Structure 1
Amino acid sequence: MYIQTVLGQIQPEELGICACHEHLYVDLSRIKKNEDTCLQDTGLVLDDLQSFYAYGGRAIVEVTNDGMGRDANKLAEISKTANIHIIASTGCYKDPFIPEEKLQWNRDQFAEWMIREIQHGIADTGIKPGVIGEIGSSLNEFKPIETELFHGAIAAAKKTGLPLSTHTTLGTCALEQIELFTREGMPLNQIIIGHQDLNEQDEVVLEVLKSGAYVAMDTIGKENYRSDKARLESILKFIERGYEDQLLLSTDLTRKSHLRALGGQGYDVVLRVFVPSLRDRGITDAVINKLLAANPQRAFSIRKAGDILA
């Protein structure tokens, strides 16, 4: 097993403390029509990452994919400058962010393209993705193109062994995603179900955890969606029920205004604010190490290395 970063392969134990769902170079403004959603100032991002590093952060899973302004070369530059491992993504996001030239694609076309990127690199960069993600469903539904995208992602994940990280709009469709993966025979320990801290139905999230999938509590600090106090209570409940080995943490920065220099939470919010809150509630350092380091090391390990070189 190994982890594929933008600078090459590393052993899982080299990953260190890892944010499981972030954006370092992203542009959603084509759809959102808001310049704040174009986060492509690498100088500001690098400044913000200095604090993430100072608090112990050593790795970031960067789930910006095709249609979201992905730039693999920029990620390699950021990785070198910040001295942080970065895992890049293949795939597409969700409707309406899928690139125009892929809007009529079927599952086989999506799968073939993702497998090609995984085996040979993104575009002509030679930089290989280490995760399929973030693959998304819409609010309370799968649009037809999203269904094709999910099936393509499943085929690519089965072929290559890459982890598959999902987007659930406001936490919805988590169980529907699990049902799809189960129906298609996808190993659920290869799946990370995203944005479940936005799912206020703890019993639903517990069902997802019971399936064996990883659950990303990955919008920490975005209190306009849900308070971090409520997120904390949910995580405490999941830990109490015995799921400490399946939880991942992150903050999902997508806007310039999310950077600390511009008044936002910053990439360090989990380490700077949320982890101390966990400690205050009696969560041990051993469990915290699982959430920040041991769980991401397992979740983002590639299991079938031979297939990737095929």
Structure 2
Amino acid sequence: MYIQTVLGKLEPQELGVCACHEHLYVDLSRVKKNEDTCLQDIELVTEDLESFAALGGKAIVEVTNEGMGRDAEQLAEISRKTGLQIIASTGCYKDPFIPDDKKKWNRDQFAEWMITEIKDGIGETGIKPGVIGEIGSSLNEFKPIETELFHGAIEAAKTTKLPLSTHTTLGTCALEQINFFQKEGLFLEKVIIGHQDLNTNDEIVLEVLNSGAFAAMDTIGKENYRADEDRIRSLLTFIEKGFEDQLLLSSDLTRKSHLKSFGGQGYDIVLRSFIPALKSHGVSGSIINKLLVANPQKAFSIG
């Protein structure tokens, strides 16, 4: 078993405190028509990551993929500058972010491309992705191209044994994604269903967890979507029901305005604010270690 980072392979136990779903070099402005969604200043990002590292952060799963402004060499540079372990992604996001040259692709084309990146590296960089993600469905539906993309991602995951991390728009279609994976015979213990802290129906998230998949509580600090206190209430429910080994945490920064230098929450929001709040609710140190360290080691190990 190993974890693939932008600077090479790691033993899983070397990963340390890990944010499961972040963006360090991303550009969504092509679709969103908003310059705030172009976050590609590595000096500012590196500066913001200092407090994440100072609070014990060691690793980041960077789920920016093709069509979102992905640049593997910039991620390697950030890794070298900060000393953080960074895991890069292969795949595409969702409609309408899929690049023009792939908008008419079928599942086999998506699968072949992802498998090639996993085996040979991203473009000409030689840098290998360590996760397939974030693979997305739209609000309450799968667009036709997303169905092809999911099939391709499933085939790539089966062939290469890489973990597969998803995007659910505002938490929707989580069970539909699970059903998709089950029907295709994908090993769910290496699947991370994203944005389940935006899914306010705890019963649905419990069904996701019952399937064996990980549920990512990964938009922490984005209180314009949901109050963190509500996220904590749901998380406590999942822990009480015995799912402490399948939960992951992160904050999903995608905008310049999310950085602390612009008045935002910063990459350290989980460690600075959310973890102390969990402790105040009586969550034990051993469970917090699972959320931050042991669960990411399991979720993102390959083999």
Shift of 1:66: 0.1
Partner of 1:90: 90
Q: Map 1:172-211 to 2 at 5 A.
A: 172-211=172-211
Partner of 2:170: 170
Q: Map 1:96-245 to 2 at 5 A.
A: 96-245=96-245
Structure 2: state its 5+ residue gaps.
Answer: none
Structure 1: state its 5+ residue gaps.
Answer: 304-310
1:98 aligned partner, one-letter code: I
Shift of 1:42: 0.5
Percent identical among aligned pairs is 74
Partner of 2:251: 251
SS in 2 for 1:44: helix
Aligned residues: 303
Q: What per-residue deviation string (whole Å, max 9, x for no partner) do you get for residues 289-309 of structure 1?
A: 000000000000001xxxxxx
1:14 aligned partner, one-letter code: E
Could you tell me how far apart the structure 2 residues matched to 1:20 and 1:168 are? 15
SS in 1 for 2:244: coil
Shift of 1:55: 0.4
Could you tell me how far apart the structure 1 residues matched to 2:188 and 2:149 are? 18
Q: What per-residue deviation string (whole Å, max 9, x for no partner) do you get for residues 217-269 of structure 1?
A: 00000000000010000000000000000000000000000001111110000
Could you tell me how far apart the structure 2 residues matched to 1:95 and 1:69 are? 15
Partner of 1:60: 60
Q: What per-residue deviation string (whole Å, max 9, x for no partner) do you get for residues 136-187 of structure 1?
A: 0000000000000000000000000000000000000000000000000000
Q: TM-score of the superposition, structure 2-length normalised? A: 1.00
Shift of 1:125: 0.1
Q: Map 1:18-97 to 2 at 5 A.
A: 18-97=18-97
Q: What per-residue deviation string (whole Å, max 9, x for no partner) do you get for residues 48-93 of structure 1?
A: 0000000000000000000000000000000010000000000000
Shift of 1:30: 0.1
Q: What per-residue deviation string (whole Å, max 9, x for no partner) do you get for residues 110-134 of structure 1?
A: 0000000000000000000000000
Could you tell me how far apart the structure 2 residues matched to 1:234 and 1:263 are? 27
Could you tell me how far apart the structure 1 residues matched to 2:264 and 2:293 are? 24
SS in 2 for 1:245: helix
Could you tell me how far apart the structure 2 residues matched to 1:56 and 1:217 are? 19
Partner of 2:5: 5
SS in 1 for 2:233: helix
1:146 aligned partner, one-letter code: E
Partner of 1:306: none
Could you tell me how far apart the structure 2 residues matched to 1:299 and 1:187 are? 12
Q: TM-score of the superposition, structure 1-length normalised? A: 0.98
Partner of 1:291: 291
Shift of 1:4: 0.2
Shift of 1:31: 0.1
After TM superposition, where is structure 1 displaced by more than 2 Å over at least 4 residues in a row? Answer: none
Partner of 1:16: 16
